[in-house]
Homo-oligomer: A and B are copies of this chain.
Amino acid sequence: MGAAASGQLTVGEPGTARIAVDLLGGDHAPAVVVDGALRACQADPALHLLLVGPLEAAGEVLRALPPGEQARISTLPIAPGDRVESWVESGVRSAVLAVAQGAADAVLSAGNTGATVTSAALGLGRRPGVRRPPLAAVLPTAAGRLVLLDVGSSVDPDEETVAMHARLGSAYASVVHGVAEPRVGLLTIGTERGKGDRLRRELPPLLAGLDLPGGGRYIGLVEGNDVVTGTIADVVVTDGFTGNVLLKGLETAYAEIGPPHDPARGVPPRAALLLGVEGTVVVCHGAASADDLAAGIAFAAQLHRQAAVAAMAEIETQRGVP
């Protein structure tokens, strides 16, 4: 990796959140990430950023802030190496390492999903029993927020992987959304017996036998419409291919014509949390806008402030009383 933090961030004032931002990740990096980082800083005075990437891009953020605010920005310079691809991916690797070393509280990247998942699994460690950490997205529904996972980490998962994702998703809904006894559904294409592919036919008995964290319960098969209405499930598990396609379709529909009305809350960030790793890693789409990136940074800060990852780990290890 070869990069070292040029300025260590102040540790742990109450309310402070130190987010390592991958300036190199995303289709329009670094320009759009620079914009997003600035907007996030302007919206949250207790936010500190560790900007990981080319020094000149980090400098743009610094110069745009008033002198009294510049202490909230640290930089971790990365210079182009011989191979462009490894250079770009070293952004997220260095950001993850900064969290592992205690120099930041959470990571935000809009870069390649595979590189982010691998960097986080290696750099932060996976929770016990987790093979492939899933990305969990949050969708607005008229009935409240819905957790959809996986949305791009496990393209072709086996049954055990999806079962673990059901556990992680249940913990997420319990801790982050405050849902008592989350209802967990399996996404398929028809609720008649025998519908769907092999994975969908073999999973229901396995899911029905799980002890889900936070008092979660498996409520059976759900369909694409149930992800929109949110009336029968709080958490929906699926493979990462289907989840990614559905997420990008629904998010774009909501952006074009307005999201479902959720009386209790605003629109959730268009960002996903990587579950099953020992740290807070938030991922934006490659095509994320500056506002999406600012929302992703704010989401990472919120998760850090509520100590969400530790709280999820705690309830994941509790066993239910039969």
A residues with a Cβ closer than 8 A to B are 112-113, 142, 152, 155-156, 187-190, 192, 196-198, 200, 223-225, 227-229, 238, 240-242, 244-254, 256-260, 286-287
Contact A223 B248 (CB under 8 A): yes
> Which chain B positions have C-beta within 8 A of A223?
244-245, 248
Contact A260 B249 (CB under 8 A): no
With A223-B248, A224-B249 as contacts: A240 and B189 at CB distance below 8 Å: yes
Say which residue of B142, B196, B228 sits within 8 Å of A249 (CB atoms): B228
Contact B228 A252 (CB under 8 A): yes
Say which residue of B155, B251, B260 sits within 8 Å of A257 (CB atoms): B260
Say which residue of B197, B241, B250, B254 sits within 8 Å of A155 (CB atoms): B197
Chain B residue with minimal CB distance to A286? Answer: B190
Q: How far is the CA of A254 from the CA of B253 in the complex (A)?
A: 8
Contact B244 A189 (CB under 8 A): yes
> Which chain B positions have C-beta within 8 A of A254?
253, 257
Contact A241 B286 (CB under 8 A): no
Kindly report how many copies of this chain are found in the complex they form together.
2
Say which residue of B241, B252, B286 sits within 8 Å of A197 (CB atoms): B241
Q: How far is the CA of A192 from the CA of B156 in the complex (A)?
A: 18
> Which chain B positions have C-beta within 8 A of A286?
190
* Most chain B CB within a 10 A radius of its CB, from A142, A152, A190, A198: A190
Chain A interface mostly? helix
With A197-B155, A241-B196, A257-B257 as contacts: A249 and B248 at CB distance below 8 Å: no
Closest Cβ of chain B to A84, distance in Å, is 13
Say which residue of B196, B257, B287 sits within 8 Å of A258 (CB atoms): B257
Contact B240 A228 (CB under 8 A): no
Contact B152 A189 (CB under 8 A): yes
Q: How far is the CA of A259 from the CA of B251 in the complex (A)?
A: 14
Q: How far is the CA of A156 from the CA of B152 in the complex (A)?
A: 19
Say which residue of B112, B190, B253 sits within 8 Å of A253 (CB atoms): B253
> Which chain B positions have C-beta within 8 A of A244?
189-190, 223-224
Contact B196 A155 (CB under 8 A): yes
Q: How far is the CA of A286 from the CA of B242 in the complex (A)?
A: 21
> Which chain B positions have C-beta within 8 A of A227?
249
Contact B260 A189 (CB under 8 A): no
Contact A248 B229 (CB under 8 A): no
Closest Cβ of chain B to A219, distance in Å, is 17
Contact B197 A156 (CB under 8 A): yes
> Which chain B positions have C-beta within 8 A of A256?
142, 228-229, 260
Q: How far is the CA of A182 from the CA of B96 in the complex (A)?
A: 44
Q: How far is the CA of A228 from the CA of B313 in the complex (A)?
A: 37
With A224-B252, A259-B257, A260-B257 as contacts: A245 and B192 at CB distance below 8 Å: no
Contact B248 A224 (CB under 8 A): yes
With A197-B156, A259-B257 as contacts: A224 and B247 at CB distance below 8 Å: yes
